[in-house]
Structure 1
């Protein structure tokens, strides 16, 4: 979700940023994000673009640091969870280990891109919001699911800003699809360990916990069409229609979800 904020800022402050991104290998950027090569090369490439496009512009720096703060939060969550002995069941450990590697790569990328302007990592307190998050596996997976579902909706909330830039929209949609798969596996794991058959790999209606993450997902009006009233959809249930579309989250809505975990900056 945070990459969208970066790309959106590129578009607003530097119309030539798209051109300077063209030389970068998409395969390296998307498929080798976890490799040592990408870890070294991507921050340098984006750091150059950030410096040229923004300089010392406070607004751009604030946007990038907002992205970094969210990545700090997610990285910290998985770092603590993966490092807590006995918390994650053995069969699911590879899944959360891999997600943790992704979040670490995001943090490293943003820190390198921002250089001296990078905000320091805040102090997080996950148990203050969910007391058993690192002692109970079901709670840990519940929070993981919520973070990933928030990310998917946050990506969609920024997609409209990229509609005129095919290269950047392509990058963003590739990242978005990976985040969606993360959300899906976390949801499926929670459904399995809880025995709750209503928890599937996708969101139904606006049902879920915490409620703020799923607010608005019960919407069935897409564009100007009220889908339950569209000819040919009479046999499709209201619930199934909501499952077919994810709704966006604004930056303010995302901050309200993530903010309670931040103890101090």
Structure 2
């Protein structure tokens, strides 16, 4: 399967019956980078006293460690992304199945978003398997968060959580970019998924009467229970420049999206895991 076309095939039912992507390339390129980095890490003069075998052994060990560390970070990032996609995919499936919940005018939007999320789950599952790892199992979700929300009987609440989930996904994918950079194929598709999640977020935000982008750290007309999703989004300092000087804090903060760490993303998702 051509991974670059994966998001163009979302409306094709045959897509969901495929076996996923082929096995990804090995980390040989990363290992070569690790060897070069190791050379620069040897103190001046020490290399002349090392035997050829010792040098080779040291470089090989360093390269293997670098490769293993990169693969661990890559796998962890993919497992996190898969968990978030499980959450979103199931949320929209249940929302579309809830009788009378989504107005007919909005069902087309959420039907398409649901297909996208299912495609993301399909890709991430295949990508993790291609690395020789076992994809994390889909958790049991409690979208009421212990009774605090009723998204499948109240449409405004459904929209509120949809916005929170999409905005979380956008920030989380951005935060994991460095951890998937060791695999070009995975990085390429992760960036494609990230941009689609951003479009989801913008669409849902506008459906709720918000701007398509985030201003400040409260996400628009969102309840306080969701503020963890937007923590840090009021930042106006970028590379030492105060972006609020020209247009104010709201536009300044909105001109640059912020990331969230994997731990924060897990905490947010964990709120909805039984």
Give the TM-score taking structure 1 as reference length: 0.72
The match for 1:35 is 12
The match for 2:211 is 200
Aligned partners of 2:196 and 2:162: how far apart in 1?
Answer: 15
Aligned partners of 1:122 and 1:163: how far apart in 2?
Answer: 27
CA contact (8 A) 1:82 1:93 kept: yes
Selected match of 2:143 from 126, 135, 146: 126
Count of equivalent residues: 224
Alignment CA distance shift 1:35-1:97 (3 Å): same
The match for 2:255 is 244
Aligned partners of 1:25 and 1:167: how far apart in 2?
Answer: 10
CA contact (8 A) 1:145 1:183 kept: yes
The match for 1:49 is 24
Alignment CA distance shift 1:154-1:67 (3 Å): closer
Aligned partners of 1:128 and 1:61: how far apart in 2?
Answer: 28
Selected match of 1:176 from 194, 202, 217: 194
CA contact (8 A) 2:77 2:176 kept: no
Give the TM-score taking structure 2 as reference length: 0.70
- The CA RMSD over aligned residues, in Å, is 3.1
The match for 2:122 is 108
CA contact (8 A) 1:61 1:117 kept: no
CA contact (8 A) 1:206 1:214 kept: yes
Alignment CA distance shift 1:164-1:108 (3 Å): closer
SS in 1 for 2:159: helix
Larger radius of gyration: 2
Q: CA deviation at 1:126?
A: 0.7
CA contact (8 A) 1:30 1:171 kept: no
Aligned partners of 2:181 and 2:75: how far apart in 1?
Answer: 23
Q: CA deviation at 1:243?
A: 1.5
The match for 2:270 is 259
Structure 2: gaps spanning 5 or more residues: 28-66
Aligned partners of 1:44 and 1:174: how far apart in 2?
Answer: 15
* Structure 1 position 216 matched with structure 2 position 193: no
CA contact (8 A) 2:4 2:189 kept: no
